[in-house]
Amino acid sequence: MATAPGKKPVHDERLTDISWLHRAMRRPELGAVGGLIVVILFFAATASATMFSVAGIMTVLRPAAELGIMSVTAALLMIGGEFDLSIGSMVAFAGLIFGVLLVNLHLPMILAVLGTLIMAGLFGALNGQLVIRTKLPSFIVTLAFLFILRGLSLVGLKLATGGNTILSGVAPAGKPGFADHLFSGDTLTGLFSWLTAHGMIATLPNGKPSVHGVPISVVWFVTITALATWVLLRTRFGNWIFASGGDANAARNSGVPVNRVKTILFVCTALSAALVAIITSLDTASTDALRGLQMEFEAIIAAVIGGCLLTGGYGSAIGAFFGALIFGTVEIGLTYTNFDSDWFQVFLGAMLLIAVMFNNAVRRRVTGER
């Protein structure tokens, strides 16, 4: 399109000529933003107004953030050309490790968190190394770990609790410290009580504010998305991610350390799953063997809705952010409507299908595939 003969612009500053619309069309997250708008409009029309109150929005954001933390790293890994199907099971497994360190071994919060992250990181590195060394598709290798980790979580929980598959009492011992505030509770509580005092947030019948603050998971979600986007678009490592997923061979020929990039990305997906495990365990003061069930698929679907290609080399972290928001909005939003909330699954599949078809069309446009 740029080189149609006889149509060359004469002046020199052509860089600014590309229309805003054309640029927007080329962004991978376009579909997800559009999808979110459609979904919000749908619920604006069908759901009760409380869904769009501050309290309602926080209810939507919490599950969206928990999924989103994982979908952003899953998106990076997909752009890098690999899948990680083990992250859902990793949530249960990391929850188990965290629970045992905190409850059974009575470690301080900070050590329990570090221990959990290190363990998860090691499994991520193992996934990556297995994929690289065996040259098997990551789909298969991590599918194996989907079962291995889920099984280990069940067995481990029974060992740790003497037969149960739920470990309760996962809460900081004594007065919450700095580490506790990083992984549990709400933030901006001051702002929220101020807003309540000024009548901008509804109060419960007993006079307390209906919502205390922004869940900490939302803060992590936004921070991780911002960080991932910066890395992807503004750093060498980001360029290497695109290159590794676009064509690993070409990348290697150009001096990109493809194996290192992929291993780091596998470690990141495992770490994000562990982070979700820590946050949700503290949130519910327990961990169980079914934590994170099917979240690997939801994370991948959110990434795909966000514009990631299944073949790698293309996508965005912001797209996965919006993909996760769509998820949370629909999952929670349905409970504010008269629809059966089990429509969620139907929606999920349909959304995935539409997203993949849309992405393929966009790819053809972007690459000028003829």
Partner 1 sequence: MSDLPLIEVRDLRKQFGHVIALAGVSLRVHAGEVLCLLGDNGAGKSTLIKTLSGVHKPTEGEFLAEGKSVAFASPRDALDAGIATVYQDLAMIPLMSITRNFFMGREPAKGVWPFKRVDFRSCDDIVHDEMRRIGIDVRDPTQAVGTLSGGERQCVAIARAVYFGAKVLILDEPTSALGVAQTSMVLKYINQVRAKGLGVIFITHNVRHAYAVGDRFTVLNRGRTIADAAKREIGIDELQTLMAGGKELQEVSAELAGMV
- Interface residues with partner 1 (CB under 8 A)? 1-3, 8-9, 14-15, 17-18, 26, 230, 233-236, 238-240, 242-243, 246-247, 249-251, 253-256, 309, 313-314, 363, 366-369
Give least dist CB 119 to partner 1, A: 24
How many residues can be counted in the chain?
A: 370
d(CA 129, CA 199): 55
Alpha-carbon Rg for the chain in angstroms: 22
Give least dist CB 256 to partner 1, A: 5
- The set of residues, in sequence order, having a beta carbon less than 8 Å from that of 191 and lying 6+ positions away, is 213
Query: How far, CA to CA in Å, does 327 sit from each of 46, 186, 202?
Result: 17, 22, 25
Nearer to partner 1, 251 or 276 (CB): 251
Give least dist CB 254 to partner 1, A: 4
Give least dist CB 62 to partner 1, A: 29
Nearer to partner 1, 139 or 230 (CB): 230
**Token code pair at residue 192:** 């929220």
Nearer to partner 1, 243 or 326 (CB): 243
Give least dist CB 318 to partner 1, A: 16
Give least dist CB 320 to partner 1, A: 17
127, 145 Cβ separation under 8 angstroms: yes
Nearer to partner 1, 167 or 304 (CB): 304
Nearer to partner 1, 63 or 313 (CB): 313
Query: How far, CA to CA in Å, does 220 sit from each of 288, 320, 341?
Result: 22, 14, 27
Give least dist CB 248 to partner 1, A: 10
Nearer to partner 1, 35 or 313 (CB): 313
Nearer to partner 1, 249 or 338 (CB): 249
Give least dist CB 71 to partner 1, A: 21
Nearer to partner 1, 15 or 45 (CB): 15
Nearer to partner 1, 197 or 233 (CB): 233
Residue for token pair 């600014």: 16
Give least dist CB 270 to partner 1, A: 21
Give least dist CB 77 to partner 1, A: 16
Q: Alpha-carbon dihedral of residues 150, 151, 156, 157, nearest 10 degrees?
A: 60
202, 52 Cβ separation under 8 angstroms: no
d(CA 71, CA 333): 20
Nearer to partner 1, 117 or 214 (CB): 117
